[in-house]
Amino acid sequence: MLNRICLSLVAVGLLVLALPSGEAIASAYVVQQGDTLWDLASRFYRDPEYWKVIWEANAGIRDPHWIYPGDVIVLPNYSAGYESVSLSASTVAQNEAIIARLRIETAGMVAVDPLVPQGYVVELDAEEDHDWPGEYAYTGDLLHTDIGSEQGASVNDVFQILDKGEEVLHPNTGDRMGDLVRVAGICRLVEVGQEGSVALVEHCYLPILPGQILVDYTPASAVVVNTEPVLPSLSAWVIGLQDPDCETAYMADVVYIDRGSNDDLRPGDMFSAYRYGDVQSSPGDESVRTLDVPIADLVVLSTESSTAAALVCGNITSNLIEVGDRIHLVRRQQT
């Protein structure tokens, strides 16, 4: 259920309430641009799953997907003796379209072609005693990588951390579509040797593990959604979901479809999913076909040659998107 939480950038704005030093206390935190409950839990409690406790302690947060800059929230049971990690050099500028960029950069993909790694995560907890290695790495942790100066690396180079997941088969034909690749996080090199380096995890979206792939980080542009109706007809199948723990996609979730740049698909193109009508008998014993009812809208975030990642941007009814659903192009970017 990792992508229930909006993705994030980090900036610290903590106001500790005046209670006795060293006690577990409630602290007031001023939300910064790009913050999410997931990253706040990872940063202040070293446990990203603690986001649920933060949410429960803040009745004013109606939807845990969304917290807003300037809001003051309570961090329950926060120890005043703990110092959080502060990142002085963020990979994403504060004055840009943060939500759009993070959505695109963390959407992942169904990789049709084999990935070409720049390197790999070799070891976790570079800052800790190796007799007690951590099982996962999160925001603020240090990693050992196999990227060094021999590969042209230098301090402050930024990489995406990718997690290669399950094979994706087409739900209708059974053909192999590719491998599902999820974005685990973003790291920045802080020390570089000849054959390896130490990297700081700046942003974490999934647990980071040894063996995960490192590729060059490329900032994404905001997606401009097209508002003009499409003329040519194009349909697609939903072939996968970003969240490995869910069988259905909710509002703001990412799904993968079997159309891509080979079909002239571009970021910003819109699809709709429908509950299809069927034939019913009217009171006059006549056969009547009921209309197709739209249930959700999806916007394309990024494309591969024959696949694409799309964001569920509007649930019109309570119906949810599943693998095997058929969707139809309703708006296409104009040339």
In a domain, 94, yes or no: no
pLDDT at 158: 94
- Name the residue with higher pLDDT: 143 or 99: 143
pLDDT average, residue stretch 3-30: 43
In a domain, 225, yes or no: no
Residue 174 and residue 76 in one domain? no
Least confident of 54-68, 242-256, 316-330: 316-330
Residue 108 and residue 208 in one domain? yes
CATH number of 273's domain: 2.40.10.410
| Count of domains observed in the chain | 3
Q: What is the pLDDT of residues 155-204, one digit of tens each?
A: 999 999 999 999 999 998 999 999 999 999 999 999 999 999 999 998 88
pLDDT at 30: 77
Residue 111 and residue 180 in one domain? yes
DSSP SS3 for 149: helix
Residue 327 and residue 275 in one domain? yes
In a domain, 230, yes or no: no
In a domain, 227, yes or no: no
In a domain, 195, yes or no: yes
pLDDT average, residue stretch 67-87: 61
- Name the residue with higher pLDDT: 68 or 280: 68
Residue 295 and residue 320 in one domain? yes
Residue 142 and residue 169 in one domain? yes
Reply yes or no on whether the pLDDT at 5 is more than 70. Answer: no
Per the CB < 8 A criterion, the answer to whether 19 and 25 are in contact is: yes
In a domain, 96, yes or no: no
In a domain, 110, yes or no: yes
Burial class (CB in 10 A: 0-12, 13-18, 19+), 62: exposed
Residue 175 and residue 249 in one domain? no
Confidence of residue 283 (pLDDT cuts 50, 70, 90): confident
Average pLDDT, the chain: 77
Q: What is the DSSP string of 293-307?
A: EEEEEEEEEEE-SS-
Reply yes or no on whether the pLDDT at 45 is more than 60. Answer: yes
CATH number of 81's domain: 3.10.350
Q: Are strands 326-331 and 235-241 parallel, antiparallel or unpaired?
A: antiparallel
pLDDT average, residue stretch 94-100: 38
CATH number of 180's domain: 2.40.30
Q: Which domain holds residue 11?
A: 2-86
Q: What is the pLDDT of residues 192-246, one digit of tens each?
A: 999 999 999 988 888 899 999 999 998 877 777 665 665 556 889 999 999 888 8
Reply yes or no on whether the pLDDT at 317 is more than 80. Answer: no
Which of 187, 216, 245 corresponds to the end of one domain?
216
Reply yes or no on whether the pLDDT at 262 is more than 70. Answer: yes
In a domain, 224, yes or no: no
Helix H or strand E segment including 103: helix 98-105
- Name the residue with higher pLDDT: 162 or 266: 162
Residue 160 and residue 187 in one domain? yes
Q: Closest by alpha carbon to 259, among 245, 275, 242, 271?
A: 271
pLDDT at 208: 92
pLDDT at 132: 57
Residue 200 and residue 242 in one domain? no
DSSP SS3 for 49: helix
Reply yes or no on whether the pLDDT at 75 is more than 60. Answer: yes
CA 231/CA 274 separation, integer angstroms: 18
Residue 128 and residue 208 in one domain? yes
Residue 60 and residue 139 in one domain? no
pLDDT at 291: 61
Which of 25, 60, 86 corresponds to the end of one domain?
86
